[in-house]
Amino acid sequence: MKKRMQVLSSLLLAVAMLAGCGSTAGESTQNAAETTVQSEDVATADESAAVDVSALKVGVIYIGDENEGYTEAHMKGIDEMMASLGLNEDQVVEKTNIPEDESCYDAAVDLADQGCGIIFATSFGHESYLLQAAAEYPEVDFYHATGYQAASSGMANVHNYFTAIYEARYVSGIVAGMKLNEMIDNGTITEDQAKVGYVGAFPYAEVVSGYTSFYLGAKSVCPSVTMEVQYTNSWADMSAEAEVAKQLIADDCVLISQHADTTGAPSSCEEMGVPCVGYNVDMTSVAPDAALTSAANNWGVYYTQTVTNFVNGVVNPVDWAEGYSVGAVYVTDLNKATVAEGTADAAAKAEAALADGSLHVFDTTTFTVEGKSIEDLIAEGGDYAKYADYVSDGYFHESTVISAPAFDLRIDGITEK
């Protein structure tokens, strides 16, 4: 008796569920059919009018998501572009957490299939997969941040872009140098103890260019400064960054900066009471008593300009790298609780000079390599001859030959570990 009831009730339950879900399943397939039809409509409309804003579709491939500073900055830029062009949500297809492997190719061709006329990808390792997709879709425009192969690929639909972030790093270096001067004046450290620690991601030109510009900024106000660089070998590894920052502090560094994407280093600095300069995002929330400022990108400038050009039928540059002159880089609001007196004025002065072109970050009179100027080394030939294309008029022309950073000289005053 009992058993029969159990069977009966379970059967009843099953029937009820089957009935309930049978109809939902039917609806869902119907729904799927409808959505595909709609997306096909969009695709055909898109082909017929590539310059019609209302039919435009933009695809974006992100390495991370909104929880990670680098990607968050790109997302903000895309939002700014959407707002200024009046695009709606359906016109921008964003793919997050796309790793640097064949998933990037899958994502790129999928975006192209969906009718995106213009596709951005944000991470260095995406480039070869983007090129693979670009070869298959010559009518779609592809834009790759931080890459270097667009010009040499021979494909008209591939572009590289990167901000002149080294300019903002230079300014953040000035902020750091002012802080060092304050510490020297207070007697906390001597001039010789003005040693900065730098948490780097990889020993790659992008990082070398970044830390050199930061160092040159600091040196422009605090001539005795030296710097030690240590690498984490990851773009975003919070515990490694925190650990490296502590090692640097143990190595007598009195100020920390970083080219890595997390808040690991500022957290350590807050704990150890050492001032720090961040990257991408304002670090004052995690290090209210340590963070000075952060060098940051404003990608919205590029995204807005590029999509606007695309809509207007204007050909976009193959390589794009701009800084203060168009507002593509900035330093986050100075932390009034930590920065030295007069910092705001010094930073503003440098920003203006960088914007109008009167100040060059990699001025060859401000640094030496193995005790010699870079001009002399180029004249001597050998390994340094390859820099001849970059150096003229008394400065190293960063990000002009290609948009990706190219400055990978190890200058005097900086040691790598």
Residues of this chain that bind other proteins (CB under 8 A): 2, 5-6, 13-14, 17-18, 21, 24, 27-29, 31-32, 34-36, 39, 65, 93-97, 99-102, 106-107, 109-110, 113, 124-125, 127-129, 131-132, 148, 202-205, 233
Helix (H) or strand (E) holding 158: strand 158-161
Q: Do β-strands 391-392 and 395-396 pair in parallel, antiparallel, or remain unpaired?
A: antiparallel
Considering the complex, state which of residue 166 and residue 324 has its C-beta at the smaller distance from other proteins.
Answer: 166
Q: Is 186 exposed, middle or buried (0-12, 13-18, 19+ CB in 10 A)?
A: exposed
Nearest to 160, CA basis, from 409, 408, 405: 405
CA distance 282 to 194: 24
CA distance 137 to 113: 9
Considering the complex, state which of residue 28 and residue 365 has its C-beta at the smaller distance from other proteins.
Answer: 28
Q: How far is the CB of 131 from other proteins (least distance, A)?
A: 7
Considering the complex, state which of residue 203 and residue 327 has its C-beta at the smaller distance from other proteins.
Answer: 203
Considering the complex, state which of residue 80 and residue 110 has its C-beta at the smaller distance from other proteins.
Answer: 110
Q: How far is the CB of 17 from other proteins (least distance, A)?
A: 5
Q: Which residues contact 10 (CB under 8 A, 6 or more apart)?
A: none
Q: How far is the CB of 123 from other proteins (least distance, A)?
A: 10
Considering the complex, state which of residue 27 and residue 341 has its C-beta at the smaller distance from other proteins.
Answer: 27
Q: How far is the CB of 273 from other proteins (least distance, A)?
A: 33
- 162: number of CA atoms within 13 Å, CB side? 25
Q: How far is the CB of 34 from other proteins (least distance, A)?
A: 8
CA distance 150 to 135: 12
Going from the C-alpha of 1 to that of each of 5, 6, 11, 14, 68, the distances in angstroms are 6, 9, 15, 20, 61
Considering the complex, state which of residue 67 and residue 285 has its C-beta at the smaller distance from other proteins.
Answer: 67
Q: How far is the CB of 103 from other proteins (least distance, A)?
A: 8
